[in-house]
């Protein structure tokens, strides 16, 4: 079963009357008021009240809606912006974040060239098929015994050199009509396609990283000798409510690249 949402986005079971909400999600009684507002706004995002790329109501309007102070709303919005769910635009307002935006479209791709900023990335889709996933993948995606998954295989190249081999698994029920042709024809990032055409937004991910040796098939696709050193990155991406919606297993050639992360 999916894990319970973290306290930071969980409203109290008995929300104050000033929130104007009949029934809020269960949570600890000590949840601060701004976190309760954050939970209610997250629910509006999840339910599609505010769509990716659209402006949300102003702080004044939200304060009136929830019957709380504007400062409480601002603090909730600050946290949602820090979580990359909302984007503030100076002089324009606050908008629902979208993977189509340049600053977030490659938020989960941490591979950087040693020579500087990434550029000239090209992608080639090798396969896209529906099939029964292996048991470990089914468990990771919380699929039932008879559920199908979509497997996508692609190669990412930087300045003409293959660098990443991705095997991507998606719940078939959420991605009806996804084909290699549709993936290849979409000009933006893959997560932008998932968001705009399938209504699935990736908001959080967990990764496992280890060093591996390239097998013959992977080495051929990455134009490397068998046994070459690769970085294996397994990423489980979640949507709202920590529901897993993608399992991605990538093999990275780090001969001229490195994996970069920022820790706070």
Give the residue with greater pLDDT, 7 vs 211.
211
Say what the pLDDT of residue 18 is. 38
Does residue 30 surpass a pLDDT of 80? no
DSSP 55: B
What is the value of pTM for the model shown?
0.72
For CATH 3.40.1410.10, the residue range(s) in the chain are 111-259
Say what the pLDDT of residue 3 is. 44
Q: What is the CATH number of domain 7-96?
A: 1.10.10.10
Does residue 26 surpass a pLDDT of 80? no
Q: What share of the chain is helix, strand, coil (3-state, %, to 5)?
A: 30, 30, 40
Say what the pLDDT of residue 134 is. 93
Say what the pLDDT of residue 229 is. 96
pLDDT tens string 137-149: 999 999 998 999 9
Does residue 172 surpass a pLDDT of 90? yes
- 111-259: CATH topology: Chorismate lyase (3.40.1410)
Mind giving me the DSSP string for 27-50? --TT--HHHHHHHHHHHHHHTTSS
pLDDT tens string 219-231: 999 999 999 999 9
For CATH 1.10.10.10, the residue range(s) in the chain are 7-96
Average pLDDT over residues 4-20: 36
Say what the pLDDT of residue 87 is. 87
Rounded CA-CA distance 164/52 in Å is 28
Cβ–Cβ < 8 Å for 98, 188: no
* 235: CB partners within 8 A, 6+ apart: 108, 205, 206, 207, 246, 247, 248, 249, 250
Rounded CA-CA distance 179/128 in Å is 6
Does residue 153 surpass a pLDDT of 90? yes
Distance set, CA 116 to CA 19, 122, 262 (Å): 49, 17, 16
Other C-beta atoms within 10 Å of 223: how many? Answer: 12
Rounded CA-CA distance 102/77 in Å is 21
């Amino acid at each position: 079963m999916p894990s319970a949402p973290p306290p930071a986005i969980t409203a109290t079971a008995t929300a104050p009357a000033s929130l104007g909400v009949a029934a809020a999600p269960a949570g600890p009684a000590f949840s601060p008021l701004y976190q309760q507002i954050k939970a209610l706004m997250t629910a509006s995002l999840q339910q599609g009240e505010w769509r990716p790329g659209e402006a949300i109501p102003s702080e004044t309007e939200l304060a009136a809606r929830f019957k709380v102070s504007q400062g409480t709303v601002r603090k909730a919005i600050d946290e949602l912006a820090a979580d990359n769910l909302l984007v503030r635009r100076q002089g324009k307002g606050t908008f629902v974040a979208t993977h189509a935006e340049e600053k977030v479209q490659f938020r989960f791709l941490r591979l950087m060239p040693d020579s500087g900023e990434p550029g000239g990335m090209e992608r080639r889709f090798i396969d896209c098929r529906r099939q029964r996933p292996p048991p470990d993948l089914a468990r990771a995606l919380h699929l039932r015994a008879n559920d199908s998954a979509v497997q996508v295989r692609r190669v990412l190249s930087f300045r003409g050199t293959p660098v990443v081999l991705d095997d991507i698994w998606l719940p078939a029920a959420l991605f009806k009509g996804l084909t290699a042709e549709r993936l290849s024809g979409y000009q933006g990032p893959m997560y932008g396609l998932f968001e705009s055409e399938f209504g699935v937004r990736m908001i959080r991910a967990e990764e496992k990283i280890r060093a591996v040796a390239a097998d013959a098939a992977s080495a051929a696709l990455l134009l490397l000798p068998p046994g070459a050193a690769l970085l294996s990155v397994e990423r489980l991406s979640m949507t709202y409510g920590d529901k897993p919606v993608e399992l991605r297993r990538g093999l990275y050639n780090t001969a001229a690249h490195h994996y970069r992360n920022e820790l706070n």
